[in-house]
Amino acid sequence: MAKIIVTGAAGFIGSHLAEALLRQGEEVIGIDEFNDYYDPAFKQKNVANLQVFPNFTLVEGDIQFLDWQILLQDVEVVYHQAAQAGVRASWGKGFRAYTERNINATQVLLEAAKDAKNLKRLVYASTSSIYGDAETLPTHEGIPPRPVSPYGITKLAAERLCGLYHKNFGVPFVSLRYFTVYGPRQRPDMAFHKFFKAVLYDEAIPVYGDGQQTRDFTFVSDAVAANLAAATVPQAVGEIFNIGGGSRVVLAEVLDTMAEIVGKPIKRNHIEKAMGDARHTAADVSKAREILGYQPEVSLREGLTKEWQWIKPLYS
């Protein structure tokens, strides 16, 4: 049984990852500060699923002020999922939360990781937002990052810090650049959650721009599988991987699929394009396939159906 830390364990992806590890019989320390970027009640629910496991410990607090020397004793893997998420909220006054929670918190963790004797892997949750409006689609990891949002800038800075600590101190990091992850427990500020909620309340769905933007959507269990592989495959150390759903989809078509799943037409309200949103994203996942054995398994229709089943009782 390995001892593992998951930061952001009460969050969307972090809670699924922690649960998968606990089901494998690992000992998991979950760290979360339960901030109020979205309703902490969602996070409490996520953690309640983890607290049924005897080998789970919750540490509540800000990453920057925890005693990492003690926390990292005997820990073999750290999955660093905690971050200040959200592209649109990263402009203006909100920016400080992004520098603190994305850059400074990661630096504190890396400083501790360089002295951690038993650490075999630090898996950093990065994002497709660092590419911005990529010239090449599908986008491979060698393309120069050009973030179009302050959020993307902070996630890229933290990823680069990981690279520095790897190069200078041998911190065994791996970076996973997620492409729009969705599924049960998805954050309430994310599109599919908002869309399904609007359907339940019989409201029109806000669509930014013309609805022709494309995204590579990744089901949460595929993102979890990528994390587990990143922590175990020896050749992954020091590498960056795209983690996508394997197909690029037009938003308008996604809405048609959702309408079929919910069994009624979806009202759409077209609003102005949002600042900082990339027009198209598409992941070239051939590197992850080759080195991590990554293979996205959940189709968009199947994944959306699972998310709908989860959302219905939330708002009924």
Q: How many residues does the chain have?
A: 316
- At residue 295, the pLDDT reads 98
Asked if 151 is an active-site residue, the reply is yes
What is the residue type of 61? G
- Superfamily of structural domain 3-182+219-244+282-297: NAD(P)-binding Rossmann-like Domain (3.40.50.720)
pLDDT given at position 277: 87
- In Å, how far from its chain's centre is CA 277? 17
User: Rounded distance, CA 192 to CA 312, Å?
Assistant: 13
pLDDT confidence of residue 189:
94
Partnered with residue 207 across adjacent β-strands are 270
Instruction: With beta carbons less than 8 A apart as the criterion, state whether 14 and 63 touch.
Output: no
Distances in Å between the Cα of 229 and the Cα atoms of 168, 256, 259 are: 24, 34, 35
Instruction: Say how far apart CA 301 and CA 183 lie, in whole Å.
Output: 11
Return the residue matching tokens 């990143």: 230
Cβ burial 34-63 (10 Å sphere, 16+ → b, else e): eeebbeeebbeebbebbeebeebbbbeeeb
For residue 22, the SS3 value is helix
Whether the model pTM is above 0.75: yes
pLDDT in the model for residue 205: 93
The one catalytic residue among 98, 124, 131, 151: 151
* Phi-psi group of 289: left, alpha or beta (phi > 0 → left; psi -120 to 50 → alpha; rest → beta): alpha
pLDDT along the chain (316 residues), means of 10: 96 98 98 96 97 98 98 98 95 96 98 98 98 92 96 98 98 98 97 96 93 95 98 98 93 96 95 87 97 97 98 94
What pLDDT does residue 275 have?
84
The residue among 19, 18, 117, 121 whose CA lies nearest residue 70 is: 117
